[in-house]
């Protein structure tokens, strides 16, 4: 079962690239972008991760934290983060249990873990979902546009 807009995420914890356990349980201090990607050090995933990095300041100014999640190990994430100077944490989900909780399905004929971005508000409610395995740059533009809409609607 996939999460839908309006659903609450259940609490979870994963190790980051420094092998520090990160716990996620609403309420959060900020909105969060969780982007699930297939694999460290592949061309498409590197492009997506670097695009999130390039837009990091825009996300920060909008009151949003970013977390990348894949099935890779913390050690793999550490190297990937260092080699690409990524300013946000990468979370290791080696058994795919969080991927399963979110309902991120495999893409490309069931061969690769899915590429899906979720925007979650401070209350743990899914506000936006973007799925595209082949449009890596779309995840960033789509997320920033959605965050602008969410922030505008909260000011009213």
Residues 52-62: pLDDT tens digits?
A: 999 999 999 99
Domain count, the chain: 1
Evaluate whether residue 150 is within a structural domain.
Answer: yes
Catalytic-residue membership of 50: no
Instruction: With respect to residue 34, please indicate whether it lies within any of the assigned structural domains.
Output: yes
Query: Looking at residue 1, what is its pLDDT?
Result: 67
Q: Could you tell me the CATH number of the domain that includes residue 105?
A: 3.40.30.10
* List of residues 6+ apart from 32 with CB closer than 8 A: 24, 64, 65, 66, 67, 119, 120
Residue 143: which domain range? 12-155
Structure pTM?
A: 0.92
The verdict on residue 151 lying in a domain is: yes
Exactly one of 9, 32, 45, 104 is catalytic; name it.
Answer: 45
Query: Peptide bond preceding 27: is omega within 30 degrees of 0, i.e. cis?
Result: yes
CB burial of 103-141 (b: ≥16 within 10 Å; e: otherwise) equals ebeebeeeebbbbbbbbbbeebebbbbbbbbeebebbbe
In a domain, 6, yes or no: no
Q: How confident is the model over 105-134, as pLDDT tens digits? A: 877 555 677 899 999 999 999 999 998 756
């Amino acid at each position: 079962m996939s999460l839908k807009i309006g659903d609450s995420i259940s609490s979870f914890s994963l190790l980051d690239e420094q092998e520090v356990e990160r716990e996620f349980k609403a309420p959060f201090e900020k909105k969060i972008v969780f982007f699930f990607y297939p694999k460290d050090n592949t061309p498409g995933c590197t492009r997506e991760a670097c695009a999130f990095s390039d837009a990091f300041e825009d996300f920060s100014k909008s009151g949003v934290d970013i977390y990348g999640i894949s099935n890779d190990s913390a050690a793999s994430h550490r190297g990937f983060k260092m080699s690409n100077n990524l300013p946000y944490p990468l979370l290791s989900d080696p058994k795919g249990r969080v991927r399963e909780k979110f309902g991120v399905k495999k893409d490309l004929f069931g061969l690769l873990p899915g590429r899906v971005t979720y925007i979650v508000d401070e209350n743990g409610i899914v506000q936006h979902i973007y799925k595209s395995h082949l449009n890596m740059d779309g995840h960033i533009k789509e997320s920033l546009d959605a965050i602008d809409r969410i922030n505008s609607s909260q000011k009213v």
